[in-house]
Structure 1
Amino acid sequence: MGFDENKQEISGDSTDVLNVKEKEEGVSVNEPNKEKLTRKSSEDSVLTIEDDEDDDDAESKINLGPQCSLKDQLEKDKDDESLRKWKEQLLGSVDINAIGETLDPEVKILSLAIKSPGRDDILLQIPENGKVKGNWFTLKEGSRYSLQFAFQVNHNIVSGLKYTNAVWKTGVKVDSTKEMLGTFSPQAEPYKHEMPEETTPSGIFARGSYTARTRFVDDDNKCYLEINYTFDIRKDW
């Protein structure tokens, strides 16, 4: 997860790609003159992360203002017809009365799998404490693969959900991946996402054991899942 021999820096066209992905999910985070629905997470949030000192591109935290429930968000803009319709479109078929007054969104990662052409999917067991015992998986050198995952959003809208992954070999960072997933409203049906296909490095120096850290965080820097693990790249599966 995070190796691509053909990986290039994100160009100016990446914004269009993200917009397309978000529209496919029925969500837009780039509507003009529309305020974001998710606000600063409460002090009661159980799982948060600090700025990543190992991340060369660490972003400063942004104060998005006070957070409020979905009911309050709809109520305060009821006189603005265009904004009200945009929010209703974002929420889709969400039952506001069933959600109640919960402020914090809840994002649960339901499944993780590695897909490789011509092979059965590698289903990854998600650890409860975020730490994997032993080797989590093995990849063949020079093989194509992609990470697929499913997640569920409850209680409130999650804004700017993103996936990050960092990889080290013998203590040296060899790869760092970030992908913006988008903004999602709560719904009973899980969301599904597949990362772009990548290729593992090959050669004698590429083989061996790696350590990595995967995170799912939002605009408030709230972390919904962090996994620390090791994996191998070998000459064969």
Structure 2
Amino acid sequence: MAQPKPATVDDFLKREDEDESVRKWKESLLGDAANADPALTHPKDDPRFVIPKEFKVVVQGGQTHTYNLEDKNSLNDLKKNGYKLTEGQTFHYEVTFLVHHDLVLGLKLKTKSKKMMAKQEASFDIGSYPPTIAPITKSLEECEVPTGMMTRGEYKTVNTIEDDMGRTHLKFESKFQIVKA
């Protein structure tokens, strides 16, 4: 089944609605993009819809691991060295990004982790957003690091930021290690 063509920001702005409530709804939906300079929300030199800026692993009562998603050295560090988690800790991911050109519906972070033969997949909803001028930081749901001898060790993960339209905005690899408490 073919997916419907998404409505664009321009489609919303060009509609001539006489109803005041519809005008207010459009402004609330489009946020700062409704009245922004198009050069900021629709840059001609960057065709990307989502511009991932930063990825954080925030450990409750512990260290925050921060990675610049626009820097190859930072991405390489995340892939080669990664971060450590201790059994039983609670942590969450934070993603900072910009949205350009059009509405982005159903943005999510998908992770596929692998340790030897064991595989685990997770999906974290980020949300739906209009084009923005300022970066958006979204804290994702909390996770608990599993416990037990079989869960300890090094995991390699493929992380994907994608939307409901099937567009992949960024795919990056990471590594983490679960250590004994």
Task: State whether structure 2 residue 111 is matched by structure 1 residue 159.
Answer: no
Q: What does residue 64 of structure 2 align with? A: 121
Structure 2: state its 5+ residue gaps: none
Question: Which residue does 1:92 correspond to in 2?
Answer: 31
Aligned residues: 173
Match of 1:108 among 36, 51, 60: 51
TM-score, L = length of structure 2 = 0.80
* 2:11 maps to which of 69, 72, 75: 72
For 1:126-137, list aligned pairs within 5 A.
126=69, 128=72, 132-137=78-83
Do 1:71 and 1:96's aligned partners in 2 also have CA atoms closer than 8 Å? no
| Structure 1 stretch displaced more, 134-143 or 83-92 | 83-92
Asked if 1:197 is matched to 2:136, the reply is no
CA RMSD in angstroms comes to 2.8
Aligned ranges 1:144-183 → 2 under 5 Å: 144-173=90-119, 175-183=120-128
2:27 & 2:145 partners in 1: Cα distance?
Answer: 43
SS in 1 for 2:25: helix
| 1:228 corresponds to | 173
**Aligned position for 1:63:** 3
- Note if contact 1:114-1:145 (Cα within 8 Å) is conserved in structure 2: yes
CA distance in 1, matches of 2:84, 2:115: 15
Q: Shift in Å at residue 181 of structure 1? A: 2.1
TM-score (normalizing by structure 1): 0.63
Contact 2:9–2:30 (CA under 8 A) maintained in structure 1: no
Runs of 4+ in 1 over 6 A off after TM superposition: none
Offset of residue 229 of structure 1: 2.4
Q: Is the 8 A contact 1:147 1:194 kept in 2?
A: yes
Q: Tell me the amino acid that sits aligned with residue 234 of structure 1.
A: V
Matched letter for residue 49 of structure 2: E
Q: Is the 8 A contact 2:32 2:133 kept in 1?
A: no
Q: Which amino acid aligns with 2:98?
A: Q
Larger helix proportion, structure 1 or 2? Answer: 2
Question: Secondary structure of 1:142's match?
Answer: coil
Shift of the alpha carbon at 1:95?
4.9
How many angstroms does 1:87 deviate by?
A: 2.1
| Greater share of residues in strand | 2
8 Å Cα contact 2:49-2:102 kept in structure 1: yes
Q: Which amino acid aligns with 1:63?
A: Q
For residue 92 of structure 1, report the CA deviation from its aligned partner.
2.1
